[in-house]
């Protein structure tokens, strides 16, 4: 019973783990292939993997039920009813454009800033997400959420050793962080309206389509064995599996808490770096510990979002 209760958190932790352990592999691949080619190929593979499952999921999804929830009843997600295809395409297209925008801004920023600074600024989505959610809900985020997000961002700064200079690259990466926050909130807002796998499939397909002009301009680079291995691993483990796990977890967890858990990605990346022979200093280890403390504190808070409590009271 306890395992089922914490399954959403487990899904997000596993997603962060898959994102984090592939960091070194992606870095090696980008020495050979262009970022545009890597993203398009990676997400194209995800579409190939997810599409058959998405089709079956759409066909077997239950029909919409006319029954309405009883006010004050627990907000446990029921099986997602079969959505209107137009709704699926519309929300998936918006999410896919946001996802592409985040990756594109991050890539542009990396041209003028260090990987450590890029990782830190990108991770600031954990700060922006509660405020984006507050705008959507028209309610100020709980102070505990804001404090935990700030603590996690401080831990990320210690872990990455970022340079806090502010130039063109930092501005682009800051835009990336804001877009990722918008994506997390938008995805969480629509997660219960559409089945996870079809939603992820549409997102990835849209990202591929939007990325094709970028690929035409940037070119492919050198498709080495390392590049193909990175495409295969990230296309399946990250773009297909991890994104679906994240979406499933966000059906049950408010976006600000989900963002905090996803900040485990650089922690897992640091673990992989150590296993690969790199050494983390005391400051970096302290930063990883601070992130874990921030997540633990956030998990001690109420498990239902404020919006759900307000809905139940009406």
Cβ neighbour number for residue 77 with a 10 Å cutoff = 11
Task: Tell me which residues of the chain have a pLDDT lower than 50.
Answer: 64-75, 303-314
Q: Report pLDDT for 1.
A: 53
pLDDT of residue 15: 92
pLDDT at 313: 31
CA–CA distance from 137 to each of 66, 118, 187, 279, 303 (Å)? Answer: 26, 30, 14, 43, 17
* Alpha helix stretches (DSSP H) within 161-276: 168-190, 196-218, 225-233, 243-250, 255-262, 264-275
Give the pLDDT score at 6. Answer: 78
Q: What pLDDT does residue 59 have? A: 76
Largest CA distance in the chain: 59
First CA to last CA across the chain, in angstroms?
30
Q: Using one digit for the tens of pLDDT, what is the confidence trace for 17-31?
A: 998 888 778 878 888
The overall pTM is greater than 0.85: no
pLDDT number for residue 2: 54
Residue-range domain boundaries for the chain: 10-57+84-305
Q: What is the pLDDT of residue 83?
A: 62
- Give bridge partners of residue 221 from the DSSP assignment: 33
pLDDT score, position 82? 58
Give the single-character DSSP code of 124: T
Separation of alpha carbons 54 and 84, rounded Å? 14
Return the percentage of the chain with pLDDT > 70, whole number.
87
pLDDT of residue 100: 93
Helix/strand number for the chain, H first, E second: 16, 0
What is the CA angle 171-32-117, rounded to 5? 25
The per-residue pLDDT for 51 is 93
User: Where on the phi/psi map is residue 277: left (φ > 0), alpha (ψ -120 to 50), or beta?
Assistant: left
pLDDT tens for residues 39-80?
899 999 999 999 999 988 777 765 544 444 444 444 455 555
């Amino acid at each position: 019973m306890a395992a089922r209760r914490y399954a959403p958190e487990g899904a997000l932790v596993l997603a962060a783990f898959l994102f984090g352990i592939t960091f070194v592999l992606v870095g090696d691949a980008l020495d050979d292939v262009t970022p545009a080619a890597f993203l398009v190929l990676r997400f194209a593979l995800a579409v190939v993997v997810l599409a058959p499952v998405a089709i079956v999921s759409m066909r077997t999804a239950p029909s919409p039920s006319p029954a309405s929830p009883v006010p004050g009843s627990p907000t446990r997600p029921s099986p997602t009813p079969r959505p209107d295809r137009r709704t699926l395409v519309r929300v998936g297209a918006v999410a896919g454009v946001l996802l592409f925008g985040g990756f594109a801004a991050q890539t542009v920023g990396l041209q003028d800033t260090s990987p450590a600074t890029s990782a830190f600024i990108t991770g600031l989505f954990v700060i922006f997400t509660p405020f984006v959610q507050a705008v959507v809900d028209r309610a100020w985020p709980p102070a505990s959420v804001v404090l935990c997000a700030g603590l996690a961002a401080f831990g990320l700064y210690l872990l990455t050793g970022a340079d806090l200079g502010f130039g063109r690259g930092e501005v682009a990466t800051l835009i990336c962080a804001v877009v990722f926050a918008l994506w997390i909130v938008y995805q969480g807002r629509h997660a219960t309206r559409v089945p996870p796998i079809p939603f992820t499939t549409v997102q990835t397909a849209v990202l591929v389509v939007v990325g094709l002009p970028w690929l035409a301009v940037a070119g492919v680079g050198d498709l080495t064995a390392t590049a193909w291995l990175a495409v295969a691993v990230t296309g399946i483990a990250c773009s297909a599996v991890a994104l679906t796990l994240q979406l499933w977890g966000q059906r049950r967890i408010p976006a600000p808490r989900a963002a905090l858990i996803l900040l485990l990605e650089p922690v897992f990346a640091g673990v992989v770096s150590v296993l690969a022979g790199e050494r983390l200093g005391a400051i970096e280890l302290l930063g990883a510990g601070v992130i874990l403390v921030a997540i633990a504190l956030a998990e001690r808070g109420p498990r239902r979002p404020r919006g759900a409590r307000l809905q139940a009271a009406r």
